[in-house]
Amino acid sequence: MQKLPKAAVLTLVGLVILAIIIIKSSVIIESGQAGVLFKTLDNGVDRENTYGEGFHIIAPWNDMIIYPVRQLSVSDKMRVLSVNGLEVTVDGTVWYQPQYNKLPYLHQEKGRNYESAILAPAISAAARSVVGRYTPEQLYSSKRDVIQNEILEEVQKELSSQYIQVNKVLVEDVTLPVKIKEAIERKLRQEQESLEYEFRLTKASKEAERQRIDAEGKAVANKILSASLTDKILKEKGIEATLQLSQSPNSKVIVIGGGENGGLPIILGNQ
C-alpha cells in the first residue's frame, strides 16, 4: 500500500483540526431562545451581552449556554390554608419568561434550574399569603378574579429583583373539603330561594297597590259622574235618544210619558 506524502498527511490533519475548531466555534441559537457566553479563559460569564437568535462564532474554548426566552408556563396544585384554617387546593397556571437583558445575571446567580429554585417557591408563597386572607365561601364563589390578580402582584413583587418576568396568573380551580363545599352550596341555594321569595312578595305587594290605586280612581270617577247626572240631564239625554230612534224607517208608535215628574217616551216598533 502506497503511503501518502507527509505534506498531504499534514494537510489532512490540519483540515480535521480546522473542522473541529469551526464546529466548536459555531453556535446557532433558534427562534425563541437566547444565549449566555461563558468565557473559560477570561472572567467567566459575559454579563454585558445577551446573544440573540441566529449564527454566532465563539472561541472554541468558550461555551454558549442557551435559554428559552419566549413566554413559558407552569401549572401546579397547591395546598394552602384559608383565613379560618381550612385546607383548600388551588389549581393554577403562571405565565413567565426570563428578562432578556438580564439573562447573564439570571444564569450566573440563579442557574439553569431557576424555575424550581426561584419561581416555584415564590408562587407557592404568594398563593399561601393571598388565599389566607379569604374564607372558603369567598374562595368558592366570587373572589377568584381578585385572588389571581393579588397572587400576580405578590409574585411580581417577590421576583422583581430575580430577573424573571411574570406576565399572568390564572386560578383555574379552588377545591374545598367535601363537607365545606356541600355546606356552602346549601347556603347559596337557601339564599337564592330567599331572594326569589322576597321577589314574589314584592311583586304581589306592587300588584295589590296597583289594584288599590285603580279602584280608588274608579270610585272617584263614579262619584264625580254621579254628582253631575241630574234628573234634567237624564231626561234630556233620553229625549235625544228617542228623537234619533224616531227617525228610523221602521214603523213605530211613540208614546209620550206622563206623570208629575214626566217620563221618557216609549217606542213601540212594528216588530
Q: What is the pLDDT of residue 122?
A: 92
Buried b (16+ CB within 10 A) or exposed e, 46-70: beeebbeeeeeebeeebebeebebe
* pLDDT tens digits for range 27-70: 889 999 999 999 888 889 999 999 999 988 888 888 899 999 99
Q: For the ranges 94-98, 128-132, 161-165, 259-263, which has the lowest average pLDDT?
A: 259-263
At 107, list the grid cell: 444564569
Could you tell me the residue ranges of all domains in the chain?
Answer: 23-68, 72-176, 182-228, 231-269
**Res. 133: pLDDT tops 70:** yes
Q: How confident is the model at residue 162 (pLDDT cuts 50, 70, 90)?
A: very high
CA distances from 157 to 72, 123, 161, 224 (A): 19, 11, 8, 78
Q: State the chain's mean pLDDT as an integer.
A: 78
Q: Report whether pLDDT(201) > 80.
A: no
- In the three-class reduction of DSSP (H, G, I as helix; E, B as strand; rest coil), residue 175 is classed as strand
CATH code linked to domain 72-176:
3.30.479.30
Distances 109 to 41, 51, 72, 102, 164 between C-alpha atoms, Å: 20, 18, 20, 11, 12
- The single-letter DSSP state of residue 71 is -
Nearest to 136 by CA among 151, 126, 147, 150: 147
**Strand, helix or coil for residue 152:** helix
Average pLDDT over residues 9-30: 69
